[in-house]
Amino acid sequence: MITCFIRYEIDPFKADAFAQYARNWGEAIPRCGAELIGYFAPHEGSATTAYGLYNIENLAAYEAYRARLRDDPVGRENYEFARREQFIRREDRIFLRLASTPHGPVVRP
């Protein structure tokens, strides 16, 4: 399993558009074959940095997933929405693998 970690630089005056974009992926990404961890929008601190994370089996599965996402009606519309509204200034993605053991919930005294 690998995790796709996407870092976005967004227009701080279009944060609501990014939030809609994130919600749209919440429908399309799982349907197209990836395990969505979530999209994270600015809350405190930087108003221009946002993230998206999802798990996928391997890079071959990622390529097939991306093809399904391009053909998905919600996926196509979401790509067009981002292009039209131009709220994403930059997008960087990296693929990571879990290097530690999975951790459970934090237990507080």
What's the domain count of the chain? Answer: 1
76, part of any domain: yes
32-78 pLDDT tens trace: 999 999 999 998 888 999 999 999 999 999 999 999 999 999 999 99
105, part of any domain: no
Domain that holds residue 43: 2-96
74-105 pLDDT tens trace: 999 999 999 999 999 999 999 999 898 777 77
CATH number, domain with residue 83: 3.30.70.100
For the chain, the C-alpha Rg in angstroms (whole number) is 15
109, part of any domain: no
101, part of any domain: no
